[in-house]
Structure 1
Amino acid sequence: MRVLVCDDEPLARDRMRRMLERIPATLCVGEAENGQELLERVPSVYPDIILLDIRMPGMDGLQAASRLSESDSPPAIIFCTAYDEHAIAAFKVNAVDYLLKPVRQEDLEKALSKAGRVNKAQMLAVRRETGVAQPEQANAKEREYISVRSRKGIDLIAVADVRYFLADQKYVTVRHSQGETLLDETLKELETEFGDRFLRVHRNALVALSYIEALEHKGNQFYLRIQGVEERLAVSRRHASSVKKLLQSL
């Protein structure tokens, strides 16, 4: 989950960022000091979820959330505030949750889990609207780990740690935080199982949505910048338009 933190207090932002670092498959993609700066940052970092303070100078959190709710597929909003009198107003702008400061780690994790379920439903709706291919059939229970054969025996790779799958002839390369591993599965099988977490960007590539940092355009080619990966991953012409629309809608 790509999370953007908006709070006018630097110490509060630092604390929230440290809490996010303890949560697997969660990435802090940026910070903002007020509502106006938040609105300017959202189109460039594509957050799934925004942790939003309410009382801030200039445009406050409620005003910013109201503006964001006007978009077709707004990020999920979790308000984090020291004041409880704004709860009713917060839910009127479709907030997923309302946490009182000091926010506890356990409460933050529960709120993010709830927001992630909401965002997943939005993702499927955007896929339908933009024409991005959806998985043919999602398994009732997705694997949390992928098993691969190695000289040591069987290694387990956490799906949450996978940056992308890249097909090359009959094998698929799995790129993760520890490097690359060959997998004896087809890209089609992986897309069918994990299509709600990975995006097809090329006939031979599936990219983890949670690790996409930006879509870049060089010459006549689009590339994805992926967290923790130096090289850029090419986006095919066939998928470029739908991928761009999808990322702009999140």
Structure 2
Amino acid sequence: MRVLVCDDEQLARDRLVRLVDTMDGIELVAQAANGREAVEVARHMRPDVVLMDIRMPGMDGFEAAQALAGTEVPPALIFCTAYEDHALEAFRAQALDYLLKPVSRDELGAALERARSWNGRRPATATTVEATASDRRNHISARTHRGIELVPVQDIRYFLADQKYITVRHGSGEVLIDETLKDLETEFDDLFVRVHRNALAALKYIESLEQVPNGHHQLRLRGVADALVVSRRHVAGLRRLMQRL
């Protein structure tokens, strides 16, 4: 996998170069000191991945991302920045990942592994690769009327499947995502538990398991008014799990 590193700060650029050089199967093909230079170099070198700073003189990272998106085979884009407040803009720019400086080797390695699923048009989602605890998402992204909304996984109460979409219930409301419950269960298997064929509940928010008059069971979660229906096949396992919480 061919990588281009772009950062206007020499020290930051050198650090990324050193990290890339330690990774098997990754080749550093070029460096750039600003967005315009990155675009020009990318058109000639055709990297698979660009590690891009955001705040740079002349042409910043977002402007460069827009230019790269118009190339014949757009590279996967991983933003590496010192600022947390550009995450939404980064995902609107179809970034594969958003890493905060100083970037660690593990974080960069996980992001580059995800980049292997790049299809030349858009970043692969975490549901297209087998996630592990070290490289899984910290946020779920959803397209809403406000644009891309990022929901911290730690704030999610449950995932509820309804036909082709998944409702993500979090502390401030809910959003819809186009993923599968099975992929979410695999990715977050130690954070959520299956309580029904169409529902995953967050372990940290489980409050009580109740039996309702018709003999069915429902699960109460902290901070959520509505209860989740628990299927009979999952009741015993859920009880055992709750005893260990």
Q: Calculate the TM-score normalised by the size of structure 1.
A: 0.47
Q: Give 1 or 2: higher helix fraction.
A: 1
- Higher RCO (CA < 8 A, seq sep 6+): 1
Kindly name which structure, 1 or 2, has the bigger radius of gyration based on alpha carbons. Answer: 2
